[in-house]
Amino acid sequence: MNRGTYFALSLTIVGIIGLAALPKWLAPEPLKAPPTPAPQPSEVPTATQTASAPPSEPEPVERLLRSYTSLFKTAAKDERVHNITLGAKKLDGSTIAPLGGLWSFNDTVGPRTMEAGFKAAPTLLMGEVIPGMGGGMCQVSSTMHAAALLAGLTIVKRMPHSRPSSYIDRGLDATVNYPEHCWEGKQDPNTCFDLVISNPYDFPITIKTLVHDPVKPTKVPKKALTVELRGSGPIAQVDVRWKLYSTPPFKQKWRRAYRKGDWKKKKQSGQNGVNGGLTVNLKWPDGREESRVIYSKYPPVMEVWYVGQDWPEGVNPWE
C-alpha cells in the first residue's frame, strides 16, 4: 500500500468514529418518506360510499316429515328387484306443488317398457300372478301411498290390489297399471290404475326414495324400500286404524291339462276375500280435527286345480 492510499483510508476511519462519537443533538436525522396526503372526498374507496343491503330472510329449511318402509325379497338376476330399484329412482326428487298441487305416479314413472329400462317380472292382475312388464311397480306405489297417507296428504285416486299384499298392511296398498293404451290417452277404468295425490299444505313436498338393507336382519334375503316426504312446514298428526267388515269365501275350479293320466295338481291356492276400511284421523296444525275412511275391497282368490286327460268327469280334485 502506498502512502496516498494509506492516508485516504485513515481519514475515512476517523470520520466514521467521529460521527459515532457526536452527541444525538448534532447527529443528522435519518431520511423519512414524505407524508401521504389525506384522500379527498372524490378519492374515498367506493365500498365506503355504498350503503350495505338489508339482510335477507333465510330460506325455509326442508326437513323429514314422514316416511314409510316396505321389504321385498332379493336374489341375483331378480327382475322384480331391478324394476323396484328403477321405479324408486324415477320417483326420487319429484315434488308435489303446494295448495292443491296434483302428483301422478304414472306421469312421474312413465310407461313401463323395455326402452325405459324395465323388465318382465311377476305381477298381480285380476287375482292371478302373471308375468308383466314392470312387475314390482305396485310395491313402489304402495310404499308411496302409505307415506302420503301418514303425512296427511289427500289421496285423489287409488285402487287396492285384487288381494291383500304381503309387504304392506291392509288399506295402505295402491296398485298401478300403465299399459300402452293408457299412456296413449285411451283411459280404461278396468285396466288404467294410477295413484294421484294432492298436497294440502302451503309449501311443496319433495319425495326422496332409498333402496337399502333392512334395519333388522331377515331369514330370507331382503331389501328395504323407503319413501321419505320432505318439506319446510308443520303437518297434521295422523292416526290410522283398520276395520274389517267381511271375508267373502273363495271358490274352486279345475282345468283339464293336455298330459294324459288321472293326476291332479293345485296350481293356485284359494284365499278368502277381505272387505274393510281404513279410518284416518287427522289433527291439523291449526287445531282442526278431521276423519276420513278409505275403503278397500279385496275379492276372493279362486283356488285353481289342473287334472290329467283321464281324470273322471264330475269329480272334483279337491274332494
Per-residue pLDDT of the chain (319 residues; tens, 9 = 90+): 544 444 444 434 444 434 444 444 334 454 444 555 554 544 444 444 444 555 666 677 899 999 999 999 998 679 999 999 999 999 999 999 999 999 999 999 999 999 999 998 877 766 667 778 899 999 999 999 999 999 999 999 999 998 899 999 999 999 999 999 998 889 898 889 999 999 999 999 999 999 999 998 888 899 999 999 999 999 999 999 999 999 999 999 999 999 999 999 999 899 999 999 999 999 999 999 999 999 999 999 999 999 999 999 999 999 9
pTM above 0.85, yes or no: no
Residue extent(s) of CATH 2.20.230 domains in the chain: 236-319
| Angstrom distance (rounded) from CA 91 to CA 107 | 10
| Angstrom distance (rounded) from CA 91 to CA 195 | 13
Which residue from 239, 235, 252 is spatially nearest to 307, judged by alpha carbons?
252
Looking at residue 43, its pLDDT comes to 45
Looking at residue 238, its pLDDT comes to 98
120-125 vs 128-133, strand pairing mode: antiparallel
Looking at residue 57, its pLDDT comes to 66
Instruction: Name the residue type at position 26.
Output: L
- Do residues 114 and 133 make contact, with C-beta atoms less than 8 angstroms apart? yes
| Angstrom distance (rounded) from CA 232 to CA 226 | 20
Q: DSSP state, 193?
A: B
- Do residues 129 and 138 make contact, with C-beta atoms less than 8 angstroms apart? no
Sequence length of the chain is: 319
Which residue from 293, 101, 129, 134 is spatially nearest to 200, judged by alpha carbons?
101
Looking at residue 61, its pLDDT comes to 86
Looking at residue 122, its pLDDT comes to 79
C-alpha cell at 299: 275379492
Enumerate residues 6+ apart whose C-beta is below 8 A from 318.
Answer: 252, 254, 266, 303, 305
Looking at residue 131, its pLDDT comes to 76
**137-150 vs 79-91: helix axis angle to the nearest 10?**
40
Looking at residue 35, its pLDDT comes to 54
What topology is assigned to 236-319 in CATH? Resuscitation-promoting factor rpfb fold (2.20.230)
